Amino acid sequence: MANVVLRDVRKTYTGGFEAIKGIDFEVGDGQFCVLVGPSGCGKSTLLRMVAGLETITSGDIDIGGRIVNQIEPADRDIAMVFQNYALYPHMTVYNNMAYGLRNRRMPEPEIDTRVQEAARILELSTMLDRKPRQLSGGQRQRVAMGRAIVRQPKVFLFDEPLSNLDAKLRIAMRVEIRKLQRRLNTTSIYVTHDQLEAMTLADILVVMNSGRVEQIGNPLDIYQKPATTFVASFIGAPPMNLMPLRADEIRSQFAGDSRAAGESGILGIRPEDFVISAETIAGGIALDLTVEAIERVGAETFVYGTRQHEIQGVAANPGELPPGEVIVRIPGAVAPAIGERIKAVAPRENLHLFSADGRQRIEL
């Protein structure tokens, strides 16, 4: 039971590369925090700094009211689940889980109780005598979880624990991890690059980009009010449509709103907020599109179109759509034909406006 607080945490490698550029956030007791971002954004480095596997250049990491900057990983009272599981290949499942307890000189009967209990929870009871190589990917993943929970640590750290599993198992394990965390009520920090995993697991979501925090908050708030165009295009699949607008376009679109006046900016609309309709919505936006491609996934269909009125400006962010392309998500499988001209409309309350550099959200 502990909270984790990061205060202006930085990491500079010898040679001058700044991997972490000043990060502040707090994970409350029993909360599930997810660090999400593209590869190379520093999320794994940050997690390893919390674990004590990487040194901290400056700032403080506080676990349960104790600054742990100089404390060895073993003494931080944390447990970590690695991406490749990092099981001890020469030990049985039982010994893999008991190893950490034996190192702490826990009496054998107590070790046995804890390992059996963990094995029961994770449905590993029949596999305790097996070696890791005799297990499937999902079972290895559960052993790694077991090794973390027998210790009853203050904090669980997960470093992309599901990325080596196939899609179906990943969803099943995701639900398992969340259930287990709720049940044990242990503060957790979880690193992933998968925005869907991030959205479904997190109590607090931390979106990171090139060593900085882009936005922190409740996943739904982040989805509904992304703070930057980076967050807007990273969270949500397919990504939010981003369209650079000139100052005069903004003035005409958002007439009467003083906060949106005067400057060029970027307009964002989520694919699911569009409706294909011949009628415009008062105060909303209407785009004339030529259908370029259709993706049918059963329950929904994605329509890829090009805007007829090309709007110039602003370089694209990573992950952003090429200028001029708009994705529209429509329910069901009935879709317009390729080459057809359609009108996609979205109401005013579903429009997002960002500053021209994409770093700032303009509230409407």
Q: Which residue has the tokens 């990487």?
A: 54
Any alpha helices (H) in 216-295, and if so which ranges? 219-224, 229-234, 247-253
Q: Alpha-carbon distance 309 to 221, whole Å? A: 32
Under rule CB under 8 A, residue 87 binds another protein? yes
Find the binding residues for another protein in span 247-286 (CB under 8 A). Answer: none
Q: Alpha-carbon distance 336 to 317, whole Å? A: 29
Q: Do residues 310 and 324 make contact, with C-beta atoms less than 8 angstroms apart?
A: yes
Let me know if 337 is exposed, middle or buried by CB neighbors in 10 A (0-12, 13-18, 19+).
exposed
DSSP 177-236: HHHHHHHHT-EEEEEES-HHHHHHH-SEEEEEETTEEEEEE-HHHHHHS-SSHHHHHHSS
Q: Which span (22-30, 82-90, 297-305, 313-321) binds another protein, by CB under 8 A?
A: 82-90
Nearer to another protein, 114 or 361 (CB): 114
- Our CA angle for 167, 49, 36, nearest 5°, is 35
Q: How far is the CB of 293 from another protein (least distance, A)?
A: 37
Under rule CB under 8 A, residue 74 binds another protein? yes
Among 3, 57, 83, 355, binds another protein (CB under 8 A): 83
Peptide bond into 132 cis (omega under 30): no
Nearer to another protein, 162 or 213 (CB): 162
Nearer to another protein, 58 or 84 (CB): 84
Q: How far is the CB of 157 from another protein (least distance, A)?
A: 9
DSSP 309-362: S-----PPPTTPPPTTEEEEEEESS--PPTT-EEEEEE-GGG-EEEETTSS-EE
Alpha carbon separation from 58 to 18, 120, 163, 194, 347 (Å, rounded): 12, 42, 31, 29, 46
Find the binding residues for another protein in span 204-223 (CB under 8 A). Answer: none
Q: How far is the CB of 122 from another protein (least distance, A)?
A: 17
Interface map 124-163 toward another protein (x if CB under 8 A)? -------x-x-------------x---x------------
**Strand partners of residue 290:** 306, 341
Nearer to another protein, 102 or 296 (CB): 102
Q: Which span (66-74, 218-226, 244-252, 314-322) binds another protein, by CB under 8 A?
A: 66-74
Among 8, 28, 29, 53, binds another protein (CB under 8 A): 53
Question: Measuring CA to CA, which residue among 58, 151, 19, 23 is closest to residue 96?
Answer: 151
Among 27, 33, 79, 344, binds another protein (CB under 8 A): 79
Q: Alpha-carbon distance 68 to 48, whole Å? A: 13
Find the binding residues for another protein in span 90-109 (CB under 8 A). Answer: 90, 99-100, 103-104
Q: How far is the CB of 31 from another protein (least distance, A)?
A: 21
Please tell me the chain's helix, strand, coil percentages from 3-state DSSP, rounded to the nearest 5. 30, 30, 40
Interface map 331-360 toward another protein (x if CB under 8 A)? ------------------------------
Q: Which span (68-76, 175-183, 270-278, 308-316) binds another protein, by CB under 8 A?
A: 68-76
Q: Report how many residues bind another protein under the rule CB under 8 A.
A: 25
Nearer to another protein, 75 or 263 (CB): 75
Q: How far is the CB of 68 from another protein (least distance, A)?
A: 13
Structure tokens at 75: 């003494």
- Residues lying near another protein in the complex (CB under 8 A) are found at 51-53, 72-74, 78-80, 82-84, 86-90, 99-100, 103-104, 131, 133, 147, 151
